[in-house]
């Protein structure tokens, strides 16, 4: 009987570039953060399992902001365990990304304005207004400090 392999060696492995602080590389990553880039939020269920979901976001001053509806299960998870991770990335070269891991700060302030700004960023002015008008103002703004963010791009390892 054949034993399963417990380790795996990658002969041609290329090391990924080290992550960089967002604050030190803000200009290099600005276009990613201003675009309607894909993003996912990870929160933790009561059993400790990760709950990962796509989100829309914006960056304002020193924070990443995500609007969470009042009845969204992510809200209950965050109230129980405020640890979370946000990952923003692009699907075209140079495949830049931003990751922030922090404890969530939830606020009732500015929900409608944040929802409108975030929806408009993703759907355009008219589409964003229609989207925001279909929602009620209940919910929370999740804020994560940009100072905790790390960035990367894969330019150094892409074929030329």
| Contact call for residues 28 and 150 (beta carbons, < 8 A) | no
What is the pLDDT at residue 84? 97
- Residue pLDDT, tens place only, 52-91: 999 999 999 889 999 999 999 999 999 999 999 999 999 9
| pTM recorded for the entire structure | 0.83
Q: For residue 107, list its beta bridge partners.
A: 141
105 or 148: which leads in pLDDT? 105
Judged against a pLDDT cut of 60, whether residue 108 lies above it is answered with: yes
| Residue 118: C-alpha distances to residues 61, 64, 131, 159 (Å) | 14, 11, 10, 35
Right CATH for 20-109+141-152 from 3.40.430.10, 2.40.50.140, 2.40.40.20, 2.30.110.10: 2.30.110.10
SS (H, E, C) 11-29: CCCCCCCCCEECHHHHHHH
Structural tokens at position 47: 């059993």
Compute how many other C-beta atoms are within 10 angstroms of the C-beta atom of residue 154.
Answer: 14
| Residue 26: C-alpha distances to residues 80, 129, 158 (Å) | 32, 29, 22
């Amino acid at each position: 009987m054949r034993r399963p392999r417990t380790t795996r060696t990658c002969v041609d492995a290329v090391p990924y570039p080290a992550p960089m602080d967002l604050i030190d590389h803000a200009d290099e990553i600005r276009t990613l953060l201003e675009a309607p880039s894909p993003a996912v939020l990870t929160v933790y269920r009561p059993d400790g399992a990760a709950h990962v979901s796509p989100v829309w976001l914006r960056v304002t001053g020193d924070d990443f902001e995500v609007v969470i509806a009042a009845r969204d299960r992510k809200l209950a998870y965050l109230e129980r365990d405020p640890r979370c991770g946000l990952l923003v990335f692009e699907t075209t070269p140079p495949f830049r990304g931003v990751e922030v891991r922090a404890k969530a700060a939830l606020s009732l302030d500015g929900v409608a304005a944040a929802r409108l700004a975030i929806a408009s960023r993703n759907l355009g002015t008219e589409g964003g207004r229609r989207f925001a008008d279909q929602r009620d103002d209940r919910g929370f703004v999740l804020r994560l400090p940009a100072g905790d963010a790390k960035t990367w791009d894969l330019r150094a390892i892409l074929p030329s």
